[in-house]
Structure 1
């Protein structure tokens, strides 16, 4: 399969990508839950890349509804808290599916925890077929196991789907040596190795996700999801971002 996409307008060398966003990205200016205009804006960003002919996988966190680690810290049994967090990711995935299909993008929510009435169970070959039919696949419920983050789930699914890169949408335009919102002299990296991320504890993704990406030579591109047209721009070879590995 060629990695070159030939479509009208901007072209990209990426044929299939994973977009990882946090649940908090769906809150907008709120403190909790979903902000429909924000969900719709992100759906438009996804559609703009889909229209380029790129096959898109997505993983959305659940921190806007429930975060397992936080629940565990407050005294809840960790396994139960993590399963509750997984269910939160399904809710976010269904919201994004609704927003995408409203604007004409066929979408499948695929859950690691079977719940046939609302989404499909994860079957790798079926998911690949959906991508080949130009459907966006949103992978929900993490890996289906407690003690694993959605960062790790995104890296696992990206590896299984043979994605060519993980796009990590954040509030800033890349990876900095320190928090740019707190330090005016923070320096952004253009490129950083997997080992540097781990050694410097750069907080891109958790360590298991970085190690899995490194072992599968899967580059991670960190960019600002708040920048209008940023996702499409980077795929077209423009914009500001940090690349990990690759």
Structure 2
């Protein structure tokens, strides 16, 4: 069998990816399908780190958060990512994948604190490491956390799992003639003002020469095709 193109990846999952068609919260069927995709690549010997967002849970608190101090709202969002990470780890256990949750915020009664060396050891042992609570700082998104953790653990690529199957020349919902980029350079993505990751995360990946792949987590088998180096999604590279 052909060897995977990547041996260590950082998978960025938005909280919304866990919602399915629900207005907010966690859709168990969707989570189960995602962890099956992760389990398949783990079985290939790929080391997987995951950064999870919290938008699906925070969306349900949007009314209460309206007008709130930005730093306070960001900390609430970090707590939402911890809940998502715990749900993801629990679902992985049911498919035979050992996962560890590490949080950038100290809450040792619930999850481990983030320790880089321990995270790398877990990866080398074949465990999935789920990084929760973003960077642990307000004003930074989970996109930035994904870029940071990806660089710290020596990931070969950051995989941004979205609802669309890559980056297009225009919004495919509005322009039927829009075409998907197979690959695009960081410089060209900047010149075309393509919203790949937030600006801080994008700059960090570019500076660390850490490529980004944007793909749809809802396409069956897409994650495996990405790690095998097949033409799936859009690659952003130096």
TM-score exceeds 0.5: yes
**Residue in structure 2 matching 1:233, options 196, 211, 225:** 225
Matched, 1:52 2:6: no
- Equivalent residue number for residue 34 of structure 2: 42
Contact kept in structure 2, 1:164 and 1:218, CA below 8 Å: yes
Distance in 1, Cα, partners of 2:169 & 2:64: 30
Greater alpha carbon shift after TM alignment, 194-203 vs 35-44? 194-203
Task: Give deviations 1:40-90, integer Å, cap 9, x for gaps.
Answer: 0000000000000000000111110116xx779831100000000000101
**Residue in structure 2 matching 1:112, options 99, 104, 118:** 104
- Equivalent residue number for residue 161 of structure 2: 169
Contact kept in structure 2, 1:223 and 1:241, CA below 8 Å: yes
Distance in 1, Cα, partners of 2:69 & 2:175: 37
Distance in 1, Cα, partners of 2:53 & 2:2: 29
- Equivalent residue number for residue 122 of structure 2: 130
Alpha-carbon distance change, 231 to 203 in structure 1, aligned in 2, over 3 angstroms: same
The one of the two structures with greater contact order (alpha-carbon pairs below 8 A, sep at least 6) is 2
Matched, 1:178 2:170: yes
- Equivalent residue number for residue 198 of structure 2: 206
Normalising by structure 2, report the TM-score: 0.95
Contact kept in structure 1, 2:6 and 2:228, CA below 8 Å: no
Normalising by structure 1, report the TM-score: 0.92
Distance in 1, Cα, partners of 2:91 & 2:101: 12
Task: Work out the number of aligned pairs and report it.
Answer: 236
RMSD between aligned residues: 1.5
Contact kept in structure 2, 1:71 and 1:78, CA below 8 Å: no
Q: Per-residue deviation at 1:118?
A: 1.3
Task: Give deviations 1:21-55, integer Å, cap 9, x for gaps.
Answer: 11000001111100000000000000000000000
**Residue in structure 1 matching 2:140, options 127, 148, 156:** 148
Contact kept in structure 2, 1:110 and 1:121, CA below 8 Å: yes
Q: Per-residue deviation at 1:16?
A: 0.4
**Residue in structure 2 matching 1:76, options 43, 48, 68:** 68
